[in-house]
Structure 1
Amino acid sequence: MHRLRRTATAPRRGAHWRGWPRNLVAAGVLGALVWRLGTGPFVAGLGQIDARSLATSLGVALVTTLSCAWRWTLVARGLGITLPLRTAVLAYYRSQLLNLTTPGGVLGDVDRAVRHGRTVQDRRRSVRSVVWERFAGQTVLVAGAGCALALLPSPVRHGVRELEAVVAGAAMVLALVLWRLHRSPLAGQALGRAAGWLRTVGPARAELRSVLLARHTGWRILLASVVAACGHVVTFLVAARTAGSGAPLSTVLPLALVVLLAMGLPNIAGWGPREGMAAWTFGAGGLGAQVGVTTAVVYGVMVLVGALPGALLLAAAGLERFREVGHG
């Protein structure tokens, strides 16, 4: 029996190494930036942060966190599970801090999903609520970036079109591979896996209609997502000004949205793709890759300061567990 328990709880072989390729990619981006630009932009970003920018980050982070937490409660309610707003706010602050201080940038989301799942005794729906909540936020960011690139004169528009061509080419290659696979002896196994994937599409579409597109909650989720996205954009614009960029708002806004989208890629505690994309967009816009990296560094420090209330929550939770162990 003891051997069975150890087998059930032991991690699968290689589980600890799955995140390393993604971390190596993010580290490679940072290494390439240091090799090309030196450490000057990073040091300058740390040196140009002032009390006004940090105070701004705390205030904007409060509004952003409240909006995200409200969105999470709406999504959870649509899935039929309870989530008080106060609980959601506390969990979201803790989640943001963990995302910003641990490799991968998703540990905080996993933490709040698991904790909430234990509370409502339904871990599956709790995980889905976090997934749908993040999906809603990313969808609004993508839509905002698309509108900004289409309506505002952006120097990165040509580069984005090239990226779209690359994605289209990759899709064609994938279609060719699937066609060849269909004609191969492995077609039966591949089609079986595809059928299993398609079986999950139906329930996902049903949840999409009943949660994100519902008549009574859909517009509230959209409003919360827009407010949260505006908070991230405002923080980035303040970071750009703090870093010394004097470019007009119409120029920096599309760049900010593109950089914010890159933050959804695998990273190391928020670092890596953000700095790489900022260097590329600012360089393409004639603002200087160094200014882009400095802006990204300032932004990273600002959002970390904005998430510091999560440290108090983690400390309080640790103290509570210590007291429980002591009384036990």
Structure 2
Amino acid sequence: MRWFVKLATSSAVMAALLWWTDPVIVANQLRGADARWLFAALASLTLLTALMAWRWQHVAQAFDIRISFTQAWREYYIAQLANMALPGGVVGDVGRAYRIRRQGDLVRAAQSVAAERLIGQISIFALMAAGFSCALMIPGGAAWPVWTWLAIAAYCIAMCGAVVFARGTSASARFMRLTLVLLKAPRMIGLALVITALLIFSFYACARATQTVIPLADLATLVPLILCAMLIPLSVGGLGWREGAAAALFPLIGASPGAGIAAGIAYGAVMLLAALPAVLLALKPTQTHPIPHTSKMDVL
């Protein structure tokens, strides 16, 4: 029943968006999509999956969960497809934590998954905060509405709260403290920069494919806001909310709402295509091999 509600919500939001805009324009932009840019987005998302799996492998080691890159890569692919196909966007993550529990225990496996996801979200929010800070100082950019600044302020407050919370002695505080330590590690910073850049580029490429050029000055602000809309749990794979955010924000760069919807649909389709190897990986029997012990300091 819950799955049906979320699917119905995504469908209703998409229907409302198409009613609000001109569906013919959206269809024409999708029909004339440039395959070269779509392929670039697909390649970017494919590399992105490998890098995120590598990041998770190192995060898991910090929680004394030793998995090979091959296993992390396989589990990440399966989790991505499940997250897109099932409501809520976390079913796949729950599954990968459950499947690697034998490498340690379920609690630490779940913590490794949660920490990796949290590091990813903090990274993209940090980029967005930096982008909006630059927008304040550099004139001539998009005229951002007040609610965007409120969102950035809320992010800064949340980060300060996380730092204060991490000073506690509870299990949750220790988890947050280790996550923040991981976030400051040079390897994690490098991975975060590359992963975030690939994530931004993949949406940019889908927008280019559907005849919209997002100005470079707005990439660090516009795209993260659109992608963050996919985190709304009342959807299937972010469908509807992603397109709605794009439709609302694209006019700020001189594009039509329909162009935003087309870019969002193209991005969702490429994401699904990029995750399809998970079907083959799920059918392939798993083989586990002993992983050399790695200390937490080696990970950092």
Normalising by structure 1, report the TM-score.
0.73
Q: Which residue of 2 aligns with 1:11?
A: none
Mapping for residues 113-262 of structure 1, pairs under 5 Å: 113-117=97-101, 119-152=102-135, 154-155=141-142, 157-161=144-148, 163-164=150-151, 202-214=170-182, 218-262=185-229
Q: Secondary structure at the match of 1:213?
A: helix
AA at the equivalent of 1:150 = S
Q: 1:278 to 1:92 in 2, by over 3 A?
A: same
| 1:201-256 C-alpha deviation (Å, 9 max, x unpaired) | 722222233344159x7222232222211111010111111110134322344211
Mapping for residues 304-319 of structure 1, pairs under 5 Å: 304-317=272-285
Q: Which residue of 2 aligns with 1:323?
A: none
Looking at structure 2, the residues matched to 21 and 154 of structure 1 have their Cα atoms a distance apart, in angstroms, of: 39
Looking at structure 1, the residues matched to 169 and 15 of structure 2 have their Cα atoms a distance apart, in angstroms, of: 39
One of 267, 275, 278 as aligned partner of 2:243: 275
Q: Which residue of 2 aligns with 1:187?
A: none
The alpha-carbon deviation at position 64 of structure 1 amounts to 0.8
Looking at structure 2, the residues matched to 201 and 274 of structure 1 have their Cα atoms a distance apart, in angstroms, of: 38
AA at the equivalent of 2:256 = G
Q: Secondary structure at the match of 2:81?
A: helix
Q: How much is the aligned-residue C-alpha RMSD, in angstroms?
A: 3.1
Q: Which residue of 1 aligns with 2:87?
A: 103
AA at the equivalent of 2:76 = Y
Q: Secondary structure at the match of 1:230?
A: helix
Comparing 239-248 and 43-52, the one that deviates more: 43-52
Normalising by structure 2, report the TM-score.
0.79
| 1:89-140 C-alpha deviation (Å, 9 max, x unpaired) | 11111111222222222221111111111x3251111111111110000001
Looking at structure 2, the residues matched to 143 and 233 of structure 1 have their Cα atoms a distance apart, in angstroms, of: 13
Looking at structure 2, the residues matched to 229 and 154 of structure 1 have their Cα atoms a distance apart, in angstroms, of: 21
Looking at structure 2, the residues matched to 43 and 106 of structure 1 have their Cα atoms a distance apart, in angstroms, of: 31
Q: Secondary structure at the match of 1:133?
A: helix
Q: Secondary structure at the match of 1:91?
A: helix
Is this contact kept in 1: 2:127–2:220, CA < 8 A?
Answer: no
Aligned length, in residue pairs: 273
Q: 1:147 to 1:264 in 2, by over 3 A?
A: same
Q: 1:29 to 1:82 in 2, by over 3 A?
A: same
One of 297, 302, 310 as aligned partner of 2:270: 302
Q: Secondary structure at the match of 1:157?
A: coil
Q: 1:300 to 1:214 in 2, by over 3 A?
A: closer
Q: Which ranges of structure 2 fall in alignment gaps of 5 or more residues? A: 156-164, 288-300
The alpha-carbon deviation at position 154 of structure 1 amounts to 4.3
AA at the equivalent of 2:238 = G
Q: 1:20 to 1:202 in 2, by over 3 A?
A: farther
The alpha-carbon deviation at position 167 of structure 1 amounts to 6.9
Comparing 122-131 and 298-307, the one that deviates more: 298-307
The alpha-carbon deviation at position 145 of structure 1 amounts to 0.9
The alpha-carbon deviation at position 23 of structure 1 amounts to 4.8
Looking at structure 1, the residues matched to 117 and 207 of structure 2 have their Cα atoms a distance apart, in angstroms, of: 25
Looking at structure 1, the residues matched to 143 and 181 of structure 2 have their Cα atoms a distance apart, in angstroms, of: 32
Is this contact kept in 2: 1:54–1:305, CA < 8 A?
Answer: no
One of 19, 39, 43 as aligned partner of 1:55: 39
Question: Percent identical across equivalent pairs?
Answer: 28
